[in-house]
Amino acid sequence: MSLENDRYSISPPDLEQRWMIEMYDVHKWFVDFHVLKHINLKVDRGERIVICGPSGSGKSTLIRCINRLEEHQRGRIVVDGTELTNDLKNVDAIRREVGIVFQQFNLFPHLTAVENLMLAPIWVLKMPKAEARDLAMKYLERVRIPEQADKYPGQLSGGQQQRVAIARSLCMSPKIMLFDEPTSALDPEMIKEVLDVMVGLADEGMTMLCVTHEMGFARTVADRMMFMDGGEIIEIAEPKTFFSSPKNERTQLFLSQVLEH
Amino acid sequence: MSQYNLIDNPNSSNRPPVINVGIIGWLRHNLFSSWTNTVLTVVAAGIIYSLFPPLFQWAILDADWSGVSRESCTGKGACWVFIKTWFWHLIFGLYPVDERWRVVLAFGILIVASIPLFIPWFKYKALVGVFLLIGFPVLAYFLFVGDILGMPLVETPLWGGLFLTLVIAGCGIVLSLPLGILLALARRSSMPVLRGLSVAFIELWRGVPLITVLFMASVMFPLFLPEGVNFDKLLRALIAVTLFSAAYMAEVVRGGLQAIPRGQYEAAQSVGLSYWRMMTFVILPQALKHVIPGIVNSFIALFKDTTLVAIIGLFDFLGMLQVARSDPDWLGFAPEGYVFGGLVFWIFCFGMSRYSQYLEKEFRTESQ
Ligand SMILES: Nc1ncnc2c1ncn2[C@@H]1O[C@H](COP(=O)(O)OP(=O)(O)OP(=O)(O)O)[C@@H](O)[C@H]1O
Ligand SMILES: [Mg+2]
């Protein structure tokens, strides 16, 4: 398909800004360990991509490169038309558009839930305090825990903390949400409440890149599945084909291991 | 566990067993809970008994309290007349008697302005804090120095006693914390030059005794200044004490920064906070909270170290005590002087220590 070719071809960023995220031959090394190799990826607006792969394959590193928590050393990354360079202005601009949710939540433990949400709107968007509070409450309602607003993270369950973390990102109205194994630190009974929130986001058309091994979730929301191994993108396909007839051996092996459980 | 008798008393099982409450319960629980504890209690009681009564006898019962000269002292106990006679000099040094109200006024304002900080429901703590950190020092400077609004000039060589100690310690404390924070941040910076400078600065100051620093500041430093340029001696001592203490503070703060997980930085960056906002609102509040005991420890050390300024001819509280005890009229009363001096220092340092515990408790309840 021509569309498919287009996705993988190394071409300059297109002017109509069709793509939300473009990565052209991206490489990254940790000292002399080659973590990311030949990463070429284009993500459409509103597209949901679920990334899976064995531990250490570079999934986290890949998505963390998109908001400059890690720096790539070769190739180009363009987010919503802005290229990630050493220019701090670009980095700031991109970080405003990209939200990220971590495996370990990373809430600010010295602030209450609602204060966690208000911090960035007040200091980055220069929003008046009252307005920021309203906004924060709106998003806490959205993740269905408005009643926990004045509790500290240490007083919340894992699932509640992760939902606060998602709400904290949403407060900055990001165009892209990155998720790095958002449910793997959670007890089984809390996984669903977090996934429900994520499905809700997907339904609203958020562009999402999600590293997860929740294959049920992947089947429901993913537009494309991506399998990584050894720092490379091994296979990208629509969920149907990806799960039923994966082309690559390593994908097959991985899927057989994951789906067994 | 047999003393708890829980099973024998089913009726009172939802209340603590009688034997565990009240004075006897407390004694049993805290002083005689085991053999080692009992031995320690007995030994400690013995030491207290052999030391305290003689001290009490000397300092209170046999002491002489009234009079105006050494003739009023019998010599059996402490001669507090000595302290009484010198008291105001110990407090103000050589600050002119008619101008002392300015010092009293400044410290009065300080105390009154600090009270709201301890009232939980008081809303404008930040405003008061700004006044205390910026407005008050300016106000105090003009009050102390004078030469404005008809107040005569009081030059710094006349400052002395507890007043001078508090000025040096206060400036040192207020300035060394922010400076120490900046140094600690620089030391963890990703910029090699900044990091190198910070490491060099910290190691330099930590490696030299404060006495040397003070001595250099007062004797050597002027040699490098051009002829006729005069640099206030107190100011030099202040700078020396502040930089010295900042180097220690930097290491304490760095310890706190190291305890903050990387995820906190990443979360702050990813919501778009700039470096300084991230530090101010996310990283430092947590890091400083971890090291309150260390910070207060440095403050206490600084407070006591101010006594070293006597070396360079400033008459701080202890310096003034030395002047007093070498007064020909009052020779031989060094013990009274040092006991009194020790007590005054202890009151201040103990106060700081309690305040630190109060802060720790405050922060703990806040985030749990
Ligand atoms: N800061 C770092 N310094 C050096 N090596 C690193 C660093 N971060 C990650 N690595 C290495 O890079 C490789 C890829 O790490 P990454 O976290 O991206 O893997 P992952 O696919 O997310 O794995 P997991 O499923 O365990 O989270 C791993 O081998 C890891 O040890
Ligand atoms: Mg990972």
Taking the mean position of all CA atoms in its chain, how far away is CA A184? Answer: 14
Query: Ligand 2 center to residue B59 CA distance, Å?
Result: 69
Q: Which of B153, B172, B201 represents a domain boundary (last residue)?
A: B153
Low-confidence ranges of chain A (pLDDT < 70): 1-16, 261
Within 13 A of A143's CA, how many CA atoms are on the CB side? 29
Query: Ligand 2 center to residue A50 CA distance, Å?
Result: 13
Q: Which two tokens stand for residue A197?
A: 């929130």
DSSP code for B132: I
pLDDT value for A2: 42
Q: Which long-range contacts (CB under 8 A, 24 or more apart) does A40-43 make?
A: A40/A7, A40/A8, A40/A10, A40/A233, A41/A7, A41/A226, A41/A233, A41/A236, A42/A6, A42/A7, A43/A19, A43/A176, A43/A207, A43/A209
Nearest-neighbour CA in chain B from A260: distance (Å) = 32
* C-alpha–C-alpha distance, residues B215 and B218, integer Å: 5
Which value does ipTM take for this structure? 0.90
Q: For residue B224, is it within any domain?
A: yes
Whether residue B269 sits in one domain with residue B132 = no
3-class DSSP assignment, residue B46: helix
CATH number at B224 reads: 1.10.3720.10
Q: For residue B67, is it within any domain?
A: no
Whether residue B165 sits in one domain with residue B146 = no
Whether residue B310 sits in one domain with residue B162 = yes
Whether residue B86 sits in one domain with residue B16 = no
Nearest-neighbour CA in chain B from A42: distance (Å) = 22
Is the CB of B271 less than 8 angstroms away from the CB of A172?
yes
Whether residue B292 sits in one domain with residue B175 = yes
Whether residue B361 sits in one domain with residue B345 = yes
Which residues of chain A neighbour B289 with C-beta distances below 8 Å? 110
- Residue B367: closest C-alpha in chain A: A110
Whether residue B249 sits in one domain with residue B134 = no
Q: For residue B334, is it within any domain?
A: yes
* B366 in A contact zone (CB under 8 Å): yes
Is the CB of A123 less than 8 angstroms away from the CB of B270?
no
Tell me how many domains chain B contains: 3
* C-alpha–C-alpha distance, residues A32 and B125, integer Å: 52
* C-alpha–C-alpha distance, residues B172 and B243, integer Å: 8
DSSP string, chain A: -HHHHHHHS--PPPTT--EEEEEEEEEEEETTEEEEEEEEEEEETT-EEEEE--TTSSHHHHHHHHTTSS--SEEEEEETTEE--S-HHHHHHHHHHEEEE-TT----TTS-HHHHHHHHHHHTS---HHHHHHHHHHHHHHTT-GGGTTS-GGGS-HHHHHHHHHHHHHTT--SEEEEESTTTTS-HHHHHHHHHHHHHHHHTT-EEEEE---HHHHHHH-SEEEEEETTEEEEEE-HHHHHH--SSHHHHHHHHHHHH-
Q: Which two tokens stand for residue A82?
A: 């802005």
Residue A157 phi/psi, 5° resolution? Answer: -75, 165
- pLDDT (tens, 9 = 90+) of chain B, 368 residues, equals 445 544 555 554 566 665 666 778 878 888 888 888 889 989 999 998 888 888 887 877 777 777 777 777 777 777 787 888 888 888 888 888 888 888 888 899 999 988 888 888 888 888 998 998 889 999 888 888 888 887 888 888 888 889 999 999 999 999 999 999 999 999 999 899 999 999 999 999 988 998 888 888 777 777 777 776 667 888 888 888 999 999 999 999 999 999 999 999 999 999 999 999 999 999 999 999 989 999 999 999 999 888 888 888 888 888 888 888 888 877 877 888 888 889 999 999 999 899 888 888 877 766 55
Mutating which of B190, B191, B270 best tests the A interface, going by the most A Cβ atoms within 10 A?
Answer: B270
* C-alpha–C-alpha distance, residues B254 and B206, integer Å: 15
Whether residue B355 sits in one domain with residue B218 = yes
Q: For residue B172, is it within any domain?
A: yes
Of A69, A106, A119, the CB nearest to B264: A106
* C-alpha–C-alpha distance, residues A177 and A137, integer Å: 20
pLDDT value for A5: 45
* B273 in A contact zone (CB under 8 Å): yes
Whether residue B128 sits in one domain with residue B22 = no
Sheet holding A82-83, edge to edge: A33-44, A19-30, A74-79, A82-83
Whether residue B201 sits in one domain with residue B182 = yes
pTM of the complete model beyond 0.80: yes
Q: For residue B204, is it within any domain?
A: yes
**Dihedral sign of CA atoms B163, B164, B169, B170 in order:** positive
Whether residue B126 sits in one domain with residue B245 = no
* C-alpha–C-alpha distance, residues B239 and B236, integer Å: 5
Q: For residue B72, is it within any domain?
A: no
Q: Which two tokens stand for residue A81?
A: 């038309």
Q: For residue B208, is it within any domain?
A: yes
Which residues of chain B neighbour A96 with C-beta distances below 8 Å? 272
Whether residue B252 sits in one domain with residue B124 = no
Q: Which two tokens stand for residue B86?
A: 């010198």
Task: Tell me the count of A-B CB pairs closer than 8 A.
Answer: 67
Is the CB of A108 less than 8 angstroms away from the CB of B264?
yes
* C-alpha–C-alpha distance, residues B249 and B292, integer Å: 11
Looking at ligand 1, which residue's alpha carbon is closest to its atom 31? A56
Largest CA distance in chain A: 55
Is the CB of A110 less than 8 angstroms away from the CB of B367?
yes
pLDDT value for B54: 82
pLDDT value for A65: 94
Is the CB of A172 less than 8 angstroms away from the CB of B272?
yes
* C-alpha–C-alpha distance, residues B362 and B260, integer Å: 20
pLDDT value for B95: 84
Is the CB of B271 less than 8 angstroms away from the CB of A124?
yes
pLDDT value for A15: 52
Q: For residue B311, is it within any domain?
A: yes
Provide the residue range defining the domain that includes B138.
96-153
Provide residues with CB under 6 Å of ligand 1.
Answer: A 30, 33, 35, 53, 55-61
Of B269, B281, B367, the CB nearest to A109: B367
3-class DSSP assignment, residue B151: strand
Degrees to nearest 5, angle at CA B118 with B117 and B119: 95
CA distances to B84, B111, B148 from B153, in Å: 28, 25, 8
Query: Ligand 1 center to residue B279 CA distance, Å?
Result: 26
Q: pLDDT, tens digit, for every residue of A73-104? A: 999 999 998 999 888 888 999 999 999 999 99
Q: Which long-range contacts (CB under 8 A, 24 or more apart) does A237-246 make?
A: A239/A50, A243/A215, A243/A219
